[in-house]
A = this chain, B = another copy of it.
Amino acid sequence: MPDLLARRRALLGPNVSTFYDDPIHVVRGDGVWLWDAAGNRYLDCYNNVPHVGHCNPRVVQAITTQAAKLNTHSRYLYEGILDYVERLTGTFDDPLTTAILTCTGSEANDIALRMAEAMTGKRGIIATDATYHGNTTLVSQLSTSNPPEVGFGLDGYVRHVEAPDSYRLHDPDGQRFAEKVQEAIDALNASGVGFAALIVCPLFLNEGFPRQAEGWLRPAAEAARRAGGLLICDEVQAGFGRCGSHFWGHQKQGVIPDVVTMGKPMGNGHPVAGLVTTPEIMARFRSSFRYFNTFGGNPVSCAAAMAVLEELEDKSLQANAARIGKLAVERLDTLAQKYSVIGDTRQSGMVFGAEFVLDRTSKEPASAYADRVVNAMRHQGILLPNLGRQKNPLKTRPPMPFAEAHLDLLIDTLDRVMAETPVQA
């Protein structure tokens, strides 16, 4: 392991982050399981990229068959990209009927922001103050954690608004959030930059997956539209059935975005991503920009992505997400009766977890405790992250075939680890 870390530092450079104090050397994956080089097995409660399970046989078969038959770019005609986009857009409401396929969610968001500029003639983008939308020069400026010191001055086009937090902020119907968005719009207009788009993960999964009533996002969406800007929903984490009740997070929120971007789970780890938008926005973008992506929408990527949609449907994984999410919160609520460090429990289908606090009244984040629990869980064979603004919510976001037996193992182990982990180190 020290050898691997030293090679990594020499070849990949410094500050390339790893998970856990004691990083895992992974060698094999299968369904919800990962194995390390020593043969230890881990229950994967973290990774949303292998959406239909690590090394899903249907996806592997689709990639293999297509890679052996044809892989090329979309300046030739082939049916795979059309069949996929037809099926994909079939999961959206009108008028979201056209798509661009890329390789990464970052590329998709990078295009979405240009669509907003093309449609509005303005450049001001609003995002929350606890989000992440990707790594291109433009898109990385939307992040507040680790804000890049370099970026060709693009930070001037971004305004951050207070992220939702159902545990600490009273905003039952999204009015408070809409007011914050309106203030940012007014500031952008006053500064001369103007307002182009509001971009959000519709379920605010990086912000700590707050509890929200259906339709919560509607007032903010209305504010954006009233001001002539676009609503971009980044479904890179929230999409493809993860929230259980709906196939897309924005559908749960009762809004129809102007642009929807997607990525990570789309090809189960194969680098495929994209966006869906209206014919009007697509035509405007396509007339102001001759966009071409060599690998985007190639036959192999489309085959992988199609296999994911088929697997989700055949295995009823969206329904599984809804069922497991509800069970998970019941089990976590039982733990909360035993451990006062659990201040809140929440779920959005197959994203669920608990927020650790030092005190239930002050709600002071127990960030260091969460960190200790996550590292202890890793040594008990359970992979979890602590994410969110204060790194105190324990966020579970496993592959979609995560079943009740896996949930039992997760909760039982968490119970044991929490019993052994002092809240104050």
Contacts and interface: CB of A to CB of B under 8 A. Distances in A.
Interface of A: 1, 4-5, 7-8, 10-19, 23-29, 34, 47, 49-50, 54-55, 57, 59-60, 63-64, 67-79, 81-82, 85-86, 89, 97-100, 102-107, 110, 113-114, 117-118, 123, 135-138, 140, 146, 148-154, 157, 263-264, 268-272, 279, 282-283, 285-295, 298, 300-301
Contact of A113 (B72, B137, B282, B298): B137
Given A26-B72, A271-B301, 7 more contacts: A4-B79, A5-B77, A24-B76, A63-B67, A71-B268, A72-B269, A118-B150
Name, among A68, A79, A117, the residue most crowded by chain B CB atoms within 10 Å (CB to CB): A68
Contacts of A138: 136-138, 152
A60 B61 CA distance: 12
Contacts of A118: 149-150
A271 B103 contact: yes
A273 to B, nearest CB: 8
Contact of A289 (B150, B264, B271, B294): B150
Contact of A149 (B73, B104, B113, B289): B289
24 contacts: A4-B79, A11-B86, A12-B82, A12-B98, A16-B286, A17-B75, A18-B75, A23-B77, A26-B76, A29-B69, A29-B72, A47-B72, A72-B269, A104-B293, A104-B295, A105-B294, A107-B136, A114-B150, A138-B152, A148-B290, A150-B288, A152-B154, A269-B295, A271-B271
B136 A288 contact: no
A61 to B, nearest CB: 9
Name, among A67, A99, A138, A286, the residue most crowded by chain B CB atoms within 10 Å (CB to CB): A67
A59 B149 CA distance: 39
A4 B298 CA distance: 16
Contacts of A152: 113-114, 117, 123, 138, 154, 157
A148 B47 CA distance: 37
Given A19-B76, A154-B152, A14 B283 contact: yes
B14 A286 contact: yes
A140 to B, nearest CB: 7
Contacts of A70: 26-29, 34, 54-55
A136 B110 contact: yes
B19 A75 contact: yes
Contact of A13 (B78, B98, B268): B98
A79 B12 CA distance: 12
Contacts of A150: 114, 117-118, 288-289
A38 to B, nearest CB: 12
A409 to B, nearest CB: 20
Contacts of A268: 71
A26 B15 CA distance: 44
Nearest to A138: B137
Contacts of A148: 114, 288-290
